[in-house]
Amino acid sequence: LHIWTRRYSNGIEGVTYNNVFYPPDEYTNIRSSILSHLGRNIYLQKDHPIAIVRSLIEKHFGSSFVPITALPPIVSPQQNFDELEFPLDHPGRRPSDSYYLNKDWMLRTHTSAHEVQVFRSGIPKWLLSADVYRRDEIDRSHYPVFHQMEGARVVEPSEMEDLRKENDELAQSLAAVNIQVEDVSTIGEKNPYQPWHNPDHAKLVNDNLKHSLNGMIYALFGGLATHKGKGPLQVRWIDAYFPWTSPSYEVEVLFDGKWLEILGCGVMQQAALTRSSVPKDNVGWAFGLGLERIAMVLFQVPDIRLFWSKDARFLEQFSDGTVTQFKPFSKYPSSSKDVSFWLGEREVHENDVYDIVREVAGGLVEEVKEVDRFTHPKTGKSSRAYRVTYRSMERTLTGEEVNTLHNDLGLKLIEAFNVQLR
């Protein structure tokens, strides 16, 4: 595995990954702080909490769902967006939201990027886990690299009677456990069934999606000590919109008094299935869930950065097949520092600022908050201020170290955006 970057005279870096060179262009926005995560594969690492959640879900669905892993993260925008019916002006396509190697290649932003390809290979039931990449804010529950599991199933007309029986059985086993499912979706109105589907078949597949996911959620969360003696596990289905599913839903779990979004899902749009050469009388469902979200709750991990830790005090606490509560090994002190600057000629997107902070501080940054945005009434010049919180998960940072990081951040901001520090 070889990753390196080459700097061009215009300052844009080209990337070589697995011996393929990606020539830079105006889309290129990937930095070495992100590239260094490619190939880490923590979701496959023995005894790692992310891998434990993955295998718990795989085990729950059983061997009829084929597990798929280790697909490389570099995909085309066609795979990530077009094959899934994303409109051309969808915000997710913008380089401010996604990482591009160049205009033809990007890091997948979701595991749905592989749906068409996997259905095309003819596998009717599958679970695909992978690392995904998004440009986003910086805090204890957001990291630019996280993991998703995609699950999907396609059903032929001849299998529909069996599906009806399967649904009855799933409904019966859910009735026997302590779960309360509230469905506040408005299916049929704003969130319609597809007119070209056999209505009976679409409903069977829709019901199968619901029962299957409720069962999985109960398998994961039903045994949590926090829910024992506290009444049923509460699950809520709400309307959602995804370009490649209809109806579409988001599913939330009530945890510690708050609704936590676990996944997005829906009945596959037939256009996307047809693109996979699936016969047009087949009906399918798909879901995509966040493995970190679930792992943070199940293992009580307070900061998403811990999943990337190589510290034995973190890693040695977990073992395959079991869910145990993380025992914090002391929280080291944090140090917050502000940086404020006047913008030069051009606007600066906050995600570009966050990437520079990641580049400078890597895993030592806990949070970045915009604390001020101001335009001078006379000069018309704009200023921005950010509060950066530095904290190591593994040791106490010295004042000198933090100063060096913060000074370096100022210099990098000047270099990248031609701003003037205040």
Question: Rule CB under 6 A: which residues touch ligand FA5?
Answer: 110, 112, 134, 136, 142, 146, 148, 150, 242, 245, 261-266, 286-290, 292-293
CB neighbourhood size of 91 (10 A) = 8
Q: Which is nearer to ligand FA5, 99 or 242 (CB)?
A: 242
The structure tokens listed for 120 are 């095309």
- Cβ-proximal residue to ligand FA5, closest one: 290
Per-residue three-class SS string for 102-163: ECCEEECCCHHHHHHHHHHCCCCEEEEEEEEECCCCEECCECCEEEEEEEEEEECHHHHHHH
For the bound state, the minimum distance from the C-beta of residue 173 to ligand FA5, rounded and expressed in Å, comes to: 24
Q: Which is nearer to ligand FA5, 85 or 408 (CB)?
A: 85
For the bound state, the minimum distance from the C-beta of residue 177 to ligand FA5, rounded and expressed in Å, comes to: 23
For the bound state, the minimum distance from the C-beta of residue 219 to ligand FA5, rounded and expressed in Å, comes to: 17
For the bound state, the minimum distance from the C-beta of residue 130 to ligand FA5, rounded and expressed in Å, comes to: 11
Phi, psi of 285, deg, nearest 5: -125, 160
Q: Which is nearer to ligand FA5, 267 or 397 (CB)?
A: 267
The structure tokens listed for 248 are 């579409």
The structure tokens listed for 53 are 């959640």
Q: Which is nearer to ligand FA5, 100 or 287 (CB)?
A: 287
* Helical packing angle, 399-417 and 350-361, nearest 10°: 140
Cα–Cα distance measured from residue 13 to residue 224, given in angstroms and rounded to the nearest whole number: 47
For the bound state, the minimum distance from the C-beta of residue 232 to ligand FA5, rounded and expressed in Å, comes to: 22
Distances (CA, A) of 265 to 31, 245, 295, 310: 31, 7, 19, 33
Q: Which is nearer to ligand FA5, 51 or 397 (CB)?
A: 51
For the bound state, the minimum distance from the C-beta of residue 293 to ligand FA5, rounded and expressed in Å, comes to: 4
Distances (CA, A) of 384 to 29, 277, 348, 371, 411: 22, 51, 10, 8, 16
For the bound state, the minimum distance from the C-beta of residue 294 to ligand FA5, rounded and expressed in Å, comes to: 7
Q: Which is nearer to ligand FA5, 178 or 186 (CB)?
A: 186
Q: In what order do the strands lie in the sheet with 382-390?
A: 365-375, 382-390, 335-342, 420-421
The structure tokens listed for 246 are 């209809």
Q: Which is nearer to ligand FA5, 163 or 291 (CB)?
A: 291
